[in-house]
Amino acid sequence: MGMTILPLEEHIAAEVRGIEVGSPHSEETFAQLRRALYRHSVLVFHDQDISDEQQVAFTRGFGRLQVTMASDPYGGGGFINRIANVDEEGRLIPPRDKRSLYQSGNNLWHSDGSFKAVPLRASMLSAKVVPPRGGETEYASLRAAYAALPDARKVQLEGLVAEHSMAHSRAQIAPGLLTEAFRKETPPVRHVLVRAVPETGEKALYVGSYASHIIGWEREKGSALLKELLDWSTQPRFVYRHRWKTNDLVMWDNRSCLHRGRPWENGIYKRIMHRTTLAGDGPTVS
């Protein structure tokens, strides 16, 4: 059976059927999948019971992998980022624990790695354990959000640059959440506010919870603009909500969509996801 791609929402997300992610695939198949990713921003694969090695191999078919950060709370230097509310022994981490609070930053709308000078190109999550309710991931199309802006607004936004930082994101959760080492490893960076996806030339807004203000603007005015654009981009008409099932694999293009995790009863139910990421193409500002 050949591969089929079924759109899930008007502007964002498609389900891919007829492919076993854990098997090797031709360059032609990966080219088809890359095109689908650029077109839909989010690809959903169901029933993929894969090992970490298989996930890494599949991710590699799309490009160069990113290694996890040295100060990552779950250890750095590998290809798998474990996003889970359990510790190494499989015990639930209490919701008020710093590790839980740090991960709750994932519940703010963001694009993975926008706090880095070279942000992540794409991410892939494999669902190992999911709670019976809640814990969904929502995705918002930054391409559709940009395209729907009035022309005069598009002209105003051209050439603007925003500052992004991990500190700004985590300050919205709790002060003092970042360790000094992590803070040092993640100084503020700058990104263009309107970003073209190189493969398609389509423009996308580049906003999210890491973005604090606009360079060269009064701080409050810039923050207000970023908030307005974030609210605009995350309207229900631009959003796909993924309700996880065990062994779902979801891949997304960080350059053209935002995402956020939704809460669940994390003091009761386990949620374990394994993430791989693709390294970015380069800085967004020269």
Tell me which residues touch Fe ion (CB under 5 A): 112
Q: Report, in Å, the least distance between residue 112 CB and Fe ion.
A: 4
Q: Which residue has the tokens 């993924």?
A: 242
CB of 120 to Fe ion, least distance (A): 9
Dihedral class, residue 41 (left if φ above 0, else alpha if ψ from -120 to 50, else beta):
left
Residue showing tokens 């398609």: 200
Closer to Fe ion by CB, 50 or 120: give it.
120
Contact 179, 72 (CB under 8 A): no
Q: Kindly tell me which of 110 and 222 has the beta carbon lying closer to Fe ion.
A: 110
CB of 274 to Fe ion, least distance (A): 13
Shortest distance, CB of residue 110 to Fe ion, whole angstroms?
6
By beta carbon distance, the residue nearest Fe ion is: 112
Closer to Fe ion by CB, 222 or 271: give it: 271
DSSP percent split of the chain into helix, strand, coil, nearest 5: 25, 25, 50
Distance CA 80, CA 59 (A): 11
Q: Which amino acid is at 220?
A: E
- State both tokens at 219: 């701080």
Closest CB 35 distance from Fe ion, rounded Å:
23
CA distance 167 to 171: 6
Q: Please, what is the minimum distance in Å from the beta carbon of residue 118 to Fe ion?
A: 16
Residue holding tokens 């498609």?
Answer: 14
Kindly report the length of the chain: 286
DSSP SS3 for 193: coil
